[in-house]
Homo-oligomer: A and B are copies of this chain.
Amino acid sequence: MYAWPVILRDPVHHLISFTGAEERLVVDLMDTPEVQRLRRIRALGLASLAFPGGEHSRFAHAVGSAYVMRRYLEHVGGLSSQLAAHDRIAPETGLVALAAALLHDLGHGPYSHTFEDVVPQARSHEAWTEALICDPSTSVHRVLVGVDATMPGEVAALVRGRHPIAHLARAVSGTFDVDRCDYLMRDSYMTGVRYGLLDLDWLLASLRLHCATEGAPATLAVDGEKGLTAVEGYFLARLYMYRQVYLHKAVRAADAVMRSLFRRLHRIGAPAGTPTALADAAAGRELSPQRYLELDDHLLEVALATWSNGSDPVAGDLAERLRSRRLFKTMSLRPDVDVALAEAQLSEIVRREGLDPDYYARIDRVEIHACEDDDESLVVLHGGARRERLVDASPVLRGLRRERFVHCRALFPECVRSAVRRGLAEFV
C-alpha cells in the first residue's frame, strides 16, 4: 500500500509527488486492486515486440497522467484572475479532475488497445472504465463515494469528456489532454524513439484560456509569441509516434496475428483449459465487472501457452507465433492501391499455398492525419485582441494538414513470401 504523502521516482517526469492534503484521494485510488491491476497491462500492447524497451505498464502511465493533470490545474490556477467564475476550477472539481486523470484507462483489457480491437463485439475500454467507476462493487467506487456520493458519476462523465467546465473536459479528452501528454513522453522515453519528447514545461507555459465572446465558456488557446513552436512540436510528436511506433509494421503484424487468433477461437470455441473470463470474451459473451477485471496480460499470455499446445493447428500456430515472435511478414504497397482487389489476390495466393486466408492474409491500410477535428478549434492569441485559428497561424500545420499519411501493407506468413512478392508486384 502507498501511504500518503507519496513521492515517487518517475523516469519521465523525474519526481512525482502527491503530498498536498487534497491529493490523499489520488493515493487512496492508487491503492485499489483495480488500479493495481493496471500494472499487469502493458501500455504499448504488442508494440514491445518491435521496441524491446517499450514494456511499461498502464499503471506508470496512469500515475503520470495524474501528475500532468496536477500541473494543468496549477497552471489554470495561475490564470484564474482572468477567468469568469464559471471557468475557474474549485477544489472539489480539482479532485474530480485528478481522479479522472488517474482512472481514465481503468477499463483497458489485456495488451491495452489490442484487446478491444481483436475481440469480436468487445466493449470499448472507455465503456469499461465508466462501468468500473460506477459499479458499487469496485474499490475505486467505494473510495470515490467516500469523498462524495456524486463523485463516481462526475469522474465517469469527465473521463468521457463531459464536464460543465469546457476547458477541463478537453484537458481529459482533447488535443492536449493529459493522457496524451503523458503517453507521448513515456512511450518515447521507453522505446528510445526520440520524436515524442514534448517540451511539456514550455507547452504548459504557453497555454491560455480564451473566451470567443463575453460570457462564453473559455476554451484552450495558445500564446502566439511563445507558444507556436511548442504546439507545433506537440503535433509533430504525435504524428511521429504514430508513424514510428504505434503503426510500426511489426506492431501491425502482431496485431493481425492476434486478430486472426481470436477470429479462429470465435469460430471453434475456446479450447479446454482457457480461463472462463477469456473464453467468455472470445465467444463474445457479456462479462461481469469482476470477471472483466480478471483479464490481464498474464492471463492472456498463459492462455497463449495453452493454446499453442492445443489440438487446433491454426489456433496453435497463431498462438505460438505470438509467443516466439514469428509474426507475419509485411510488404509495403502503394498508398492508392485498391484494397479489395489486393486482398482478393493475396487471399488467392495464400490459399494456393495451402493456408486459410481468413487467418493468414490481410491487407492492412491505415491513414493518419497531422490534425484531427478537435485540433481545428484551437486559437492562437497574438498581442492585443488579435486571434487566429491555429491551423491558419502555423505554416507547419497549414502544410501538413493537407497531407495524408498512409501505410498500406500486405501481411502474410513468411512461408509464402516469394509467392506474394511475385503475385502482388503490380501493387508495389
Contacts and interface: CB of A to CB of B under 8 A. Distances in A.
A118 to B, nearest CB: 18
A217 to B, nearest CB: 26
Contacts of A244: 229
A138 to B, nearest CB: 13
A244 B230 CA distance: 10
Contact of A1 (B240, B327, B383, B386): B327
Contact of A403 (B57, B240, B395): B395
A36 interface: yes
B63 A57 contact: no
Given A57-B55, A229-B244, A324-B33, A194 B189 contact: no
Please indicate which of the listed interface residues A39, A192, A297 has the most CB atoms of chain B within 10 Å of its own CB: A192
A17 interface: yes
A31 interface: yes
A8 interface: yes
Contact of A36 (B1, B229, B239, B323): B323
Contact of A48 (B39, B201, B275): B39
Using C-beta atoms within 8 Å of the partner chain, give the interface range for chain A. Answer: 35 or more
B56 A60 contact: no
A410 to B, nearest CB: 13
A299 B304 CA distance: 11
Interface in A260-301: 275, 294, 296-299, 301
A17 B201 CA distance: 11
A419 interface: no
B414 A1 contact: yes
A396 interface: yes
A15 interface: yes
Interface of A: 1-2, 7-12, 14-15, 17, 31, 33, 36, 39-40, 48-49, 51-53, 55-57, 59-60, 63, 189-195, 197, 199, 201-202, 205, 226, 229, 233, 236, 239-240, 243-244, 275, 294, 296-299, 301-302, 305, 323-327, 332, 370, 382-383, 386, 395-396, 398-405, 414, 428
17 contacts: A1-B327, A11-B191, A14-B192, A33-B323, A36-B324, A53-B60, A190-B190, A194-B197, A197-B197, A229-B243, A236-B236, A298-B302, A395-B400, A395-B404, A395-B405, A398-B403, A399-B403
